[in-house]
Structure 1
Amino acid sequence: MARPKTASRTVDNPPVTDVTLQQVLDAVADPIRRSVIAQLAGAGHDLICGAIDLPVSRSTATHHFNVLREAGIIRQHYQGTTKMNGLREDLDERFPGLLPAIIDSCVRENTQAVPA
């Protein structure tokens, strides 16, 4: 008997046309989420959830990743069984200049928060 094929895992990233400015602003109001944005921007490539250093529990981190994804700031996808996170550059189509300004602010804030 043949083994049933398993469906590939997918993540529901919202279409950029469904993203609202209110969602984006609400998402970046939290310092943990701003840290995620700064770390993704600093890496310059997609990262697994565990590679992003956060001072919260795993379940709380999952909540923050979901808020960022639902707000259209990050996109998530599976690479095998690993969930990858990256910044969504297509948000600039919906709100020109907003994502680069958010990234710049988050990176500056995150850099200043690190003790010398």
Structure 2
Amino acid sequence: MDCVSTSKQLPQPDRDEIRVDAVLQALGEPVRLMIVRMLADTSEGIACGELELPVTASTRAHHLKMLRESGVVSTRTEGTRRISALRREDLDALYPGLLDGVLAAKQ
């Protein structure tokens, strides 16, 4: 029997449902901004357990949920792992230059 890899996308807003106020609120929190900076360096995404952050696992999960619900990241499950990736294409299409400006800002 062949092993089949299944991936499931967690609920997130469609591109036309992403609102700038939710994106700005999500990006305005320092830990979430750290996550976005880490995700900006990879197109394939990062498993939540691999994100090195100065917070507990439950707080990290909360921040990732806030980023996903605001439309900043997408999250999919692969087995027991949750992989998050930056929704750069969607954000650039909706708010040109916003993400680049945020990422270029001093930390």
Q: CA deviation at 1:85?
A: 0.6
Specify the code of the residue in structure 2 equivalent to 1:80: G
Percent of pairs with identical residues: 33
Q: Quote the residue 1:104 is aligned against.
A: 104
1:112 maps to none
SS in 1 for 2:100: helix
**Structure 1 residue matching 2:41: 3-state secondary structure:** helix
Alignment partner, residue 3 of structure 2: none
CA distance in 2, matches of 1:88, 1:54: 20
1:91 matched to 2:70: no
The gaps in structure 2 that reach 5 residues or longer are 1-5
Report the Cα offset of residue 48 of structure 1.
0.2
TM-score normalised by L of structure 2:
0.83
Count how many residue pairs are aligned between Structure 1 and Structure 2: 101
Counterpart secondary structure, 2:22 = helix
Q: Give yes or no for contact 2:7–2:76 (8 Å, CA) kept in 1.
A: no
Partner residue, 1:30: 29
Over the aligned positions, Cα root-mean-square deviation in angstroms equals 1.8
Q: CA deviation at 1:97?
A: 1.6
Residue 39 of structure 1 is matched in structure 2 by 38
**Quick one: which amino acid aligns to residue 57 of structure 1?**
T
5 Å matches for 1:1-116? 9-89=8-88, 90-105=90-105, 108-109=106-107
Q: Distance in 1 between matches of 2:8 and 2:74?
A: 14
Which residue pairs with 1:4 in the alignment? none
Unpaired segments ≥5 residues, structure 1 = 1-6, 110-116
- Higher Cα Rg: structure 1 or 2? 1
CA distance in 2, matches of 1:51, 1:70: 20
TM-score, normalised to structure 1, is: 0.77
